[in-house]
Structure 1
Amino acid sequence: MKKLLLSASLALAFTAIQGQTALAQTAITVGSDVDAGTLDPRLTRDVTAARVADLIYSGLVHLTPALEPVPDLAESWETPDPTTYIFHLREGWSFRMAHP
Structure 2
Amino acid sequence: MSKSPRHKLNKTDKRLLDTLVAAGYEHDKARDLIQKQVYTLTLADQRHVVSEISNGMNPTQAYSAVYQARRIRLARKYLNGKKVMEETGENTPPSA
Task: Determine if the TM-score, normalized by the shorter chain, exceeds 0.5.
Answer: no
Q: Indicate the structure (1 or 2) with the bigger Cα radius of gyration.
A: 1
Q: Which has the higher strand share?
A: 1
- TM-score normalized with structure 1 length: 0.25
